[in-house]
Structure 1
């Protein structure tokens, strides 16, 4: 046992129940007032209680079973003791060849779209006029999110710039880009900014000519391509803990367990294969060296609006549950270092992908490919 859970076996007095009397299948019941008095009437039975430390003031009760046979009670204890091992998995990562073929499809499509950018202006308001004049159509087409086939990700809505006073969890007017047919269409939509995965108002060099000269250090958080190579290589071969450690990023015990393929709680052990797969899939484009700047940018933006920053910001969800509060990977900060942790949250707010993933143009340069974009200096 690792200290996160406990089992207590107690001999008590009990009585046989009628089939269907117990919701958990107990053959025996007991009187809570007299069961622990072995001089009281009834059968001698074995009470098995399994509890787990869930971080609250009281441990969570996972199991309460009564057995008439001591061997059955022992088997129940062994079942719980082996549960973490039973649901442990070996994390798998995408083959390098498969990854490179997909990246090449996307790169070729980016190059072609940027060379002949099809961008149409839809319904917009006067407040967006200056931003529309500054649109670098080639850059917008090049950077727009892609799907596995290499073409535009048709479900993506990219929030480019917000207008009026923007509050993270309130709807506001945003200049957006989305796919219609073979074109990107610019329009103004009502969006909740905190919920946007593709939000580029703090990464304007992706689409705005006025910030085309933004240096590499601000775009990529490294000054030269080769500085990012070791971390990207580690992430892509599945050595996430190594990549995070080398970047000075801390992890909480729950996340560290899942990164090694081990359940972090007995109560959720059955979900471990799903969570580990989604965790590695969600971190496939992680740029660990960018997490410190990503957190500080998010924190500073909220503090400038007088908003609290005590809770971590979500990167993505792990799935597998239908509850209102879902398991998610989040980014926090210890004061000395960024911290990746697992939380349960009912919020849809996320940290935009553009701030914590490998920048697309940097990724192309790591392959030795040359984007038809201005190289940042």
Structure 2
């Protein structure tokens, strides 16, 4: 074991599994790098974090996470430029958000120094897993789980903060059409829809499976009170283009404050595109299809970056969006990815060099 600093202990893997990976055919989130970051919270404090070989966890069946779902996570990516430099994109936003999610689920905040020192060391150890080229990346999954072996229905007193990494290519492929939810909702007022809590995602699977049976790939969630307003697209924030105006829903205790979302807004405004952040009624989409003003719909998120929506279903009817040249989705996605891969000026200061 090699102690690299007072804040981090590193145990290197004896051999690498990288030669077993087909980087030309990567299923998303199915392969993991040689190392993982682990830090335990016990007796009211975070212990010294460790980087160890990727391995199964040993946990009691009574661990609180299995019974009460006290678990939050983040999604980030590392990119490699054409000169071999490693970059993160707005990691400070992810760090703040995982602690914000944890606070809502009665979890202790994780120290910033531990997070960034551990993440940088982990990426440098496994840097060969990060392949250059647009579309290639290393998906980073920090998460926190309640590990106390007790089934009492109260906040855990022990936790594990873990980071695992998975080589990735483009997340979504093919055409995406969505069903606008008429009955199901992703989150409700006063809940924790704004967090990346595990339960938020588990609750989406059943309605999404029903939509897939009808030939759709995702669900556009509507508000729990009236189902009159759209809120998110699958696991992504949603944007629509009416005429030349780009519109997205405001964040709230129901809607995730996406890092990609706020980046899309900034890039659009910088290009002179008028952006409105306001509630969006389903009827606006229907009227936009009738009068031709609805030009684009797309989702934004870390995994997919920007995912164009080609059509939607609502109340048994199907609608196909027009094909638009020089679409906002394609233009902004290219600009965003050029920043992420260090191929363009970063006037916003979003890139973070790992060295």
More helix as a share of residues:
1
Q: Which has the higher contact order (CA 8 A, sep 6+)?
A: 2
- TM-score of the superposition, structure 2-length normalised? 0.23
More strand as a share of residues:
2
> Considering only CA atoms, is the larger Rg found in Structure 1 or Structure 2?
1
